[in-house]
Amino acid sequence: MLEIKNLMVFYENALALNNVTFTCQEGQITGVFGPNGAGKSTLMYTISGIILDMKKTEVMRGGERITILGEIQFKGEDTTHIKPNERTRKGIVLCPERRRIFPESSTLENLKIGGYLATRQEAKKTLEYVFSLFPALKDLKNREGGFLSGGEQQMLAIGRALMAQPKLLLLDEPLMGLSPAIQSRLVQAIKEINERTGITILITEQYAQPILPIVDHGYVMEKGTIVLAGTAKELTDNPHVKAAYLGA
Amino acid sequence: MNIFIFGLVNSVILALIASGFALVYGVSRLANFAHGALYILVGFATWLFLNRLGINYIGSILLSIIIVSAIGAAIYRLLLIRVKGMPASEIIASLAIGIAIMELFRWRGFISEAYMLPPFVKGSVNIAGVFIDWQRLIIIGVGLGMMLFLWLFTHHTKVGLSLRAIAQDKHASIMSGIEPDRTAVISLAMGSALAGIAAVVILPLGNITVETGYMVLTNAIAVCIIGGLGSWAGVFAGAFLLGFTEILTAALIGPQWQMVVVLLFIILTLILKPSGLLGRQKELEERV
Q: Counting every residue, how long is chain A? A: 248
Residues of A in contact with B285 (CB under 8 A): 103, 146
Please check the confidence at residue B189 and state whether its pLDDT lies above 60.
yes
pLDDT of residue B259: 84
Alpha-carbon distance of B236 to B228, in angstroms, equals 10
Q: Pick from A112, A119, A173 the residue to mutate for testing the B interface (most B CBs within 10 Å).
A: A112
- Per residue in A99-132, pLDDT (tens digit) is 999 998 999 999 999 999 999 999 999 999 999 9
Comparing CB atoms, the residue among A57, A89, A102 nearest residue B172 is A102
Please check the confidence at residue B282 and state whether its pLDDT lies above 50.
no
Alpha-carbon distance of B221 to B241, in angstroms, equals 14
Q: Do A105 and B170 touch (CB under 8 A)?
A: no
Q: How confident is the model at residue B281 (pLDDT cuts 50, 70, 90)?
A: very low
Alpha-carbon distance of B282 to B230, in angstroms, equals 12
Strands A29-33 and A66-74: unpaired
Q: What is the 3-state secondary structure (H, E, C) of A173-199?
A: CCCCCCCHHHHHHHHHHHHHHHHHHCC
B177-184 own/partner pairs: CB under 8 Å, 24+ apart: B177/A85, B177/A88, B177/A89, B177/A116, B177/A117, B177/A164, B178/A85, B178/A113, B178/A116, B179/A83, B179/A85, B180/A53, B181/B81, B183/B27, B183/B28, B184/B27, B184/B28, B184/B30, B184/B76, B184/B80, B184/B81, B184/B84
Q: Pick from B175, B231, B232 the residue to mutate for testing the A interface (most A CBs within 10 Å).
A: B175
Q: Do B288 and A50 touch (CB under 8 A)?
A: no
Query: What is the domain partition of chain B in residue ranges?
Result: 10-215
Task: Report chain B's terminal Cα–Cα distance, integer Å.
Answer: 52
Please check the confidence at residue B271 and state whether its pLDDT lies above 50.
yes
- % helix, strand, coil for chain B, step of 5: 75, 5, 20
Please check the confidence at residue B285 and state whether its pLDDT lies above 60.
no
Q: Pick from B156, B159, B176, B275 the residue to mutate for testing the A interface (most A CBs within 10 Å).
A: B176
The residue ranking higher by pLDDT, B174 or A63, is B174
Q: Do B161 and A105 touch (CB under 8 A)?
A: yes
Comparing CB atoms, the residue among A89, A105, A150 nearest residue B165 is A105
Kindly provide the ipTM of the predicted complex, given to two decimals.
0.91
A85 touches chain B (CB under 8 A): yes
Alpha-carbon distance of A52 to A185, in angstroms, equals 34
Nearest residue to B39 via CA among B194, B207, B145: B194
Q: How far is CA B262 from CA B175, B212, B238, in A?
A: 42, 17, 11
Q: Pick from B28, B174, B280 the residue to mutate for testing the A interface (most A CBs within 10 Å).
A: B174
A149 touches chain B (CB under 8 A): yes
| Mean pLDDT, each 10-residue run in order, chain A (248 residues) | 96 94 96 93 96 90 90 96 96 94 94 96 97 96 94 97 97 94 96 96 93 94 94 89 74
Residues of B in contact with A100 (CB under 8 A): 169, 171-172
In terms of C-beta density within 10 A (0-12 exposed, 13-18 middle, 19 or more buried), how is residue A229 classed?
middle
CA closest to A177 among chain B residues: B288
CA distance B234 to chain A (A): 14
Q: How confident is the model at residue B1 (pLDDT cuts 50, 70, 90)?
A: confident
Chain B residues within 8 angstroms (CB to CB) of chain A: 82-86, 155, 158, 161-162, 164-165, 168-180, 280, 284-288
A48 touches chain B (CB under 8 A): yes
